[in-house]
């Protein structure tokens, strides 16, 4: 049993996390083995994403007044994945959702029951569908490489065309 002072400290810590992080994902981790959770935490930490497990009652208290809209339904065992303070505002805001989604996808056949329940994005509570859509957006580096390829392609075709014209003359 937790003391009231410990609970208050946990609520303050969660509230501070919500204020500092631009993106938070609520995760149901029902039936997850310790080994799988250890792998998940390591993968998240490598991407600058924090991960905390919390009681739903303490979580609801910490979420009061944090974001606009209605809090999504938090069923089962709930944890949060958030952009950690070390990543700062320059970090990838969709990294928490993407990393949870990727872990869920790669460990689907292994009995890992991990699901996105919703989250906070741009100061608003959002549902699981919206967070999943965000998770499927490629990372910044991938998007930049696609733009570079699109910019390179017409120039490459022009160079080939000019070269072919030069060969005929």
Same domain, 81 and 156: no
Per residue in 109-161, pLDDT (tens digit) is: 776 778 899 999 888 999 989 999 989 988 788 889 999 988 888 888 888 88
Same domain, 75 and 149: no
Same domain, 97 and 119: yes
Same domain, 88 and 155: no
Q: What is the CATH number of the domain that holds 89?
A: 3.30.70.1730
**58-67: long-range contacts at Cβ-Cβ below 8 A with a sequence spacing of 24 or more?**
58/7, 58/10, 58/11, 58/14, 59/14, 61/11, 62/11, 62/12, 62/14, 62/15, 62/18, 63/14, 63/18, 66/15, 66/18, 66/19, 66/120, 67/18, 67/120, 67/123, 67/124, 67/125
Q: Could you tell me the residue range of the domain that residue 150 belongs to?
A: 139-169
Same domain, 132 and 150: no
Same domain, 82 and 132: yes
Per residue in 33-43, pLDDT (tens digit) is: 888 889 999 99
| 86: pLDDT strictly greater than 80 | no
Our count of domains for the chain comes to 2
């Amino acid at each position: 049993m937790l003391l009231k002072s410990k609970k208050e400290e946990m609520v303050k810590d969660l509230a501070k996390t919500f204020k500092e992080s631009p993106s938070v994902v609520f995760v149901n981790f029902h039936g997850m083995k310790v080994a799988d959770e250890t792998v998940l935490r390591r993968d998240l930490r490598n991407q600058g994403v924090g991960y905390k497990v919390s009681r739903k009652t303490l979580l609801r208290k910490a979420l009061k007044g944090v974001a606009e809209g209605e809090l999504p339904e938090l069923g089962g065992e709930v944890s949060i994945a958030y952009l950690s303070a070390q990543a700062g505002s320059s970090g990838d805001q969709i990294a928490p959702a993407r990393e949870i989604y990727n872990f869920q996808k790669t460990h689907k056949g292994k009995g890992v029951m991990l699901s996105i329940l919703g989250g906070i994005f741009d100061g608003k509570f959002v549902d699981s569908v919206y967070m999943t859509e965000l998770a499927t957006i490629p990372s910044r580096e991938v998007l930049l490489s696609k733009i570079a390829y699109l910019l390179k392609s017409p120039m490459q075709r022009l160079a080939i065309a000019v070269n072919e014209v030069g060969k005929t003359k």
